[in-house]
Structure 1
Amino acid sequence: MKIVGVTGTKDSGKTVLVEKLVEGLAGEGYRTATLKHSHVGFDFPGRDTDRHRKAGAEIVVGAGRETFFLLERELDLEEIVAVIDVLDGVDFLIVEGFKSMEYANFSTSTPNEFTLKVVDPFKLEDVDELIDLIKRRSYGLLQGLDCGKCGFKSCSEFAASKVRGYADEVDCRSQPEKALLRINGRPVPMNPFVQEFISKTVLGMVDALDTENLKIEKVDLIIKVQRNR
């Protein structure tokens, strides 16, 4: 899953740009997730979920035609990406509103060192060019391994080169494709060998269980660490 951001000041056209990027990627057959950062709450006063929270619930889940989770704290970008990355089949994550994210982005007003292009004003005829930039210059969750498998000395050097167009044909080779380990909600860097080892070990244990009637496509293993209170 590759990540691209849309940044800019309030009412500068970020949401319209996100809509058109999603439409463009979906039109080419890509599965896309979006993440919206806001300085206000997403719950509405007086609704059932609000009443649940005021009654003391630490986590509120709404389920029906849609499913959502409300937590009484703000998750940082890495924690959220780790959750979304567990969902199989997402090709691109488009993030709106995280100004300090170190991923490729488009800016509607205030560019930074990771900005692919300043989109001001936004024009519908520019969508194809922006989609092309996303496909060539965005990248996935960087784990800080500095493994050098991409040909660069560090993850930060790879990211800088990718954004500037010096590595269009290069992708990070240490993405969490086989296994994703999270501790306290945060992804823990694992090189491809460790991912392969963990994947085969866990699947080997699962095969030993009574799972003949199950078509195994993904295995989630959660280990709770008990602490003395």
Structure 2
Amino acid sequence: MKIISVIGKKDTGKTTLVRKIIEGLRSRGYKVAGLKHAHVYFDFRDKDTGKYRESGAEIVAGLGKETFILLDKELKPEYLIYLISFIQNPDFLVIEGFKTWKFANISTSPEVKNKFTIATVDENFEIEELLDLIEERSYGLLLNLNCGKCGFDTCEEFAIAKIKGEDVECKSQPKDAMLIVDDVPVPLNPFVQKIIASTITGMIKSLKMEKSKINNIKLFIKNLE
């Protein structure tokens, strides 16, 4: 899953740009997820879910044509991104905000950019050219493994090369297994991912289950003391 973030000052068209990027990537045949970084509570006060929260519920879930969960705490961004990648397995995650994170980003404000900015746009931007840049220069969540499998000594060096348009790819994205300890994702190199995946899968297959084909396995362990 590749990640692209839209950053900029308030009221500079970030949400409009995010929508156009999502629509454009979808039109090119990609599966796309969206994530918004907000500094305030999401407003559901006039809905039943808001009333549940006012009553003191620490977690509120809604299940119908859509599924959503409201937690009374802010999750770590990398934790949520890991979950999105495993739950839906999208090709792209388009984020509004997170300007201090090391995602490839597009800025709607010339004064708000950093070394991970691939383009700065105004109201006259060409969406197709922007989509080409996103396909070419965005990348996944940096895991800080510094494994060197991409040909660079550090993950940040890889990211800078990708931003510049070099034809390089990260070889250590979470594909076979994901480990989260106390809400903190733990980076795993591909070899360790395969060991964990094959070991757990082998254990599960040894159990007597009605379902013979396994598509994915989710394992949660708590209260280890």
State the TM-score, normalized to the length of structure 2.
0.94
Task: Give the superposition deviation at 1:44.
Answer: 2.3
After the TM superposition, which residues 128-139 of structure 1 pair with which residues of structure 2 at under 5 Å, given as runs? 128-139=128-139
How far 1:173 sits from its partner (Å)?
A: 0.2
The aligned counterpart of 2:123 is 121
Report deviation, 1:46. Answer: 3.8
Percent identical pairs in the alignment equals 51
RMSD: 1.4
1:21 and 2:21 are equivalent in the alignment: yes
Contact 2:102 2:142 in 1 (8 A): no
Separation in 2, partners of 1:85, 1:182:
13
Residues 76, 184 of structure 2: 8 Å contact kept:
no
Q: Distance in 2 between matches of 1:112 and 1:224?
A: 39
Cα deviation for residue 203 of structure 1 reads 0.5
Look up the match of 2:181.
Answer: 183
Deviation of 1:101 after TM superposition, in Å, equals: 1.6
Superposed, 1:151-190 pairs within 5 Å as 151-165=151-165, 167=166, 169-190=167-188
Partner of 1:142 in structure 2?
Answer: 142
Once the two structures are superposed, the pairs formed by residues 1-150 of structure 1 within 5 Å of their partners are 1-109=1-109, 110-123=112-125, 126-150=126-150
Could you tell me which residue of structure 1 aligns to residue 220 of structure 2?
222
Equivalent AA in structure 1 for residue 18 of structure 2 = V
Distance 2:19 2:124 in 1: 12
SS of the counterpart of 2:204? helix
Is the deviation greater in 82-91 or in 37-46?
37-46
How many Å separate the matches in 1 of 2:124 and 2:63? 36
> Displacement of 1:121 after TM fit?
2.7
SS at match of 1:179: coil
User: Which 5+ residue runs of structure 2 have no aligned equivalent?
Assistant: none
CA distance in 2, matches of 1:82, 1:63: 22
TM-fit CA distance, 1:14: 0.8
Matches of 1:51 and 1:214, distance apart in 2: 43
TM-superposed CA distance for 1:122, in Å, is: 4.0
Amino acid at match of 2:120: V
The runs of 4+ residues in structure 1 deviating greater than 4 Å are none
Question: Gaps spanning 5+ residues in structure 1: where?
Answer: none
Question: What secondary structure is seen at the aligned counterpart in 1 of 2:115?
Answer: coil
Q: Work out whether 1:211 is the aligned partner of 2:209.
A: yes
Q: Answer yes or no: is 1:192 the counterpart of 2:194.
A: no
Equivalent residues of 1:3, 1:94 under 8 A apart: yes
Within 2, Cα distance between the matches of 1:214 and 1:41?
43
Report how far residue 213 of structure 1 moved.
2.8
SS in 1 for 2:94: strand
Q: What is the CA–CA distance in structure 2 between the aligned matches of 1:85 and 1:184, rounded to whole Å?
A: 19
Q: How many positions carry a matched residue from both structures?
A: 223
Residues 179 and 122 from structure 1, CA distance in 2 versus in 1: closer, same or farther, beyond 3 angstroms? Answer: farther
State the distance in 2 between where 1:43 and 1:70 align: 11
User: TM-score under structure 1 normalisation?
Assistant: 0.92
Instruction: Give the whole-Å Cα distance in 2 for the aligned partners of 1:21 and 1:116.
Output: 14
Kindly state the Cα deviation for residue 185 of structure 1 after the two structures are TM-superposed. 2.0
